[in-house]
Structure 1
Amino acid sequence: MIRVLFVCLGNICRSPMAEAVFREIVNNQGLGDKITIDSAGTGNWHIGKPPHEGTQGILTGKGIPFEGMKARQVVENDLENFDYIIGMDSENIGNLHKMAGYNKTGFIGRLLDLVPESDIDDVPDPYFTGNFEEVYDLVVKGCENLLQMIKNKHNI
């Protein structure tokens, strides 16, 4: 089983959106039995809360399920248990690398590093910008490219 974790700051906007979008793409390609998907935040402000209403609105509008999703904080075991840890911005990646230290971890990378044609490096935080549609478009492209990378690497 390949394990993927999406990470943002509070785990209510970007990373749960990526989790839901990636799950939808994976399931639509019949790979749900090969890839496990989760999300978490580097901060603890929203633990136990559902996705932000802006994220819920985008996902509902696109017909992408998110029921049962609740914010949680990244824990040290995540760094050992997930094969791919995908941060939404440079700050997330920096925090993940600090947590990992010299311990063996899977791939830690920024989502938009998987989208070479993107003009920006970090997925903007819609909690502050309010632009959930822009984030959705970036997340979809990043998730499509992530799945292609995983399929190529693992021959699935």
Structure 2
Amino acid sequence: MRVLFVCLGNICRSPSAEGVFRAHLAQAGLTDRVEVDSCGVGDWHVGKGPDPRALDAARRRGIDISALRARQLAPTDYQHFDYILAMDHDNLEAIRQGCPSSCRAHIGLFLEFAGERDRAVPDPYYGGEQGFEDVLDLIEAASDGLIEELRQRLSRQ
């Protein structure tokens, strides 16, 4: 299984989701069965590390995302990943616009796995530190739901 988290610039929400989800995979004993990555729909931050506030918030939860570097969504991602999960509706629309008809990936909002079918992970970029904590809370909840779905899918393979 391969999971891709997508936000606008790949410096706040999606690298946070990648780091948190990796930690949850390790706790679930699924690290060797699920590949995880993140990217942005835009190219503004390609090659840069996560926002310092995202780094600090993740670090306070015992998660190190400092090695991650921003990249932009690529055409090959549609064929490589089983799940392409957007942080908000604008990201979701951008993903869908670039999606080829041959794509078999599940494309949707990440928070659907937290039972929040139409809710977005808000962009904390222009806010304060609490916004980054709130984002991590949402990501933690959705990660648990996604782990459960992956566990079920993997058990059928």
Q: Give the unaligned 5+ runs of structure 1.
A: none
Q: Which amino acid in 1 is paired with 2:124? A: P
Give the deviation of 1:115 after TM superposition.
1.7
Give the deviation of 1:8 after TM superposition.
0.2
2:114–2:145 contact (8 Å) kept in structure 1: yes
Alignment correspondent of 1:126: 124
SS in 1 for 2:31: coil
Q: Distance in 2 between matches of 1:36 and 1:115?
A: 20
Q: Which amino acid in 1 is paired with 2:111? A: L
Runs of 4+ in 1 over 4 A off after TM superposition: none
How many residue pairs get aligned? The number is 154
1:39-72: CA deviations, max 9, x gaps? Answer: 0000000001111111101111111122320000
Q: Distance in 2 between matches of 1:91 and 1:105?
A: 21
SS in 2 for 1:31: coil
Alignment correspondent of 2:87: 88
Alignment correspondent of 1:137: 137
Larger CA deviation: 28-37 vs 4-13:
28-37
Percent identical pairs in the alignment equals 38
Alignment correspondent of 2:17: 18
Q: Which amino acid in 2 is paired with 1:57? A: D
Q: RMSD in angstroms over aligned alpha carbons?
A: 1.5
TM, length-normalised to structure 1: 0.93
Q: Give the unaligned 5+ runs of structure 2.
A: none
User: Does the C-alpha gap of structure 1 residues 119 and 100 become closer, same or farther in structure 2, counting only changes over 3 Å?
Assistant: closer
Alignment correspondent of 1:113: 112
Q: Which amino acid in 1 is paired with 2:127? A: T
Give the deviation of 1:101 after TM superposition.
3.5
